[in-house]
Amino acid sequence: MTKKIFGLLLVASLVVIIIVTMVRNNLDRESSIDNEQLGTDMIGIAADEGLQRGKMAPDFTLTTLDGETVKLSDFQGKKVIVNFWASWCPPCKAEMPHMQRYYQEFAQDEQVEILAINLTSGDKVEKVEKFVRDYELTFPIPLDKDGKVGKTYEVLTIPTSYIIDTKGLIQHKIVGPMDEKMMKDFIFQIE
């Protein structure tokens, strides 16, 4: 009798753990970004050195998760959101559903591309692939395997995003997560 009770308790415990894990994972994926948690445009706050508004965005060439080569300069003529993220980053997890909705709803009409650069030096490719599947991301995911592009773009915290205009010039640097409204507002402000 004791073995049956122990067995039932063990099964019940496992079921509870599975349910709690599923709920927690779902909440992580669907986390909303409160206004207090939204990113800040740091371009006007930064020192005179480094990347600034109106300066040419440093070009880079990376390979995407799909094995395609992307070069930032190939997107000149489009507005580009260059986003740096990692699969283990909670604010990145909260931001990605917003980026995907923005990409689906507005990006094609507004001639915008999102390059969501995964800082793969701190991530395993398998985790990135799982993240992309779980969040159903359809925009390009370049992999910064050695961290050089992140260093060039002075990424200290993630997510960090740069908004680049059609001429390839930096217009905004947002440190922290963005929602669809922020993306739409920043993109609307530039040529």
Distance from chain centroid for Cα 144: 13
User: What pLDDT shows up at residue 62?
Assistant: 97
Give 54-112 pLDDT, tens digit per residue: 999 999 999 999 999 999 999 999 999 999 999 999 999 999 999 999 999 987 777 89
Query: Could you tell me the pLDDT band of residue 9, with boundaries at 50, 70 and 90?
Result: very low
Contacts of 65 (CB under 8 A, 6+ apart): 118, 125, 128, 129, 132, 141, 142, 143
What's the mean pLDDT in 137-152? Answer: 95
User: What pLDDT shows up at residue 1?
Assistant: 62
Q: What is the pTM of this model?
A: 0.77
User: What pLDDT shows up at residue 14?
Assistant: 42
User: What pLDDT shows up at residue 178?
Assistant: 95
User: What pLDDT shows up at residue 160?
Assistant: 97
The side-by-side arrangement of strands in the sheet containing 79-85 is 40-41, 170-175, 160-164, 79-85, 112-118, 142-143, 61-64, 69-71
Mean pLDDT is lowest, of 8-12, 38-42, 141-145, 171-175, for 8-12
Give 10-50 pLDDT, tens digit per residue: 444 444 444 444 444 444 444 555 544 766 766 654 444 56
What's the mean pLDDT in 153-171? Answer: 95
Query: Could you tell me the pLDDT band of residue 117, with boundaries at 50, 70 and 90?
Result: very high
User: What pLDDT shows up at residue 123?
Assistant: 73
Tokens of 170: 């930096």
- Higher model confidence: residue 172 or residue 32? 172
pLDDT of 182 above 70: yes
What's the mean pLDDT in 161-180? Answer: 95
pLDDT of 118 above 80: yes
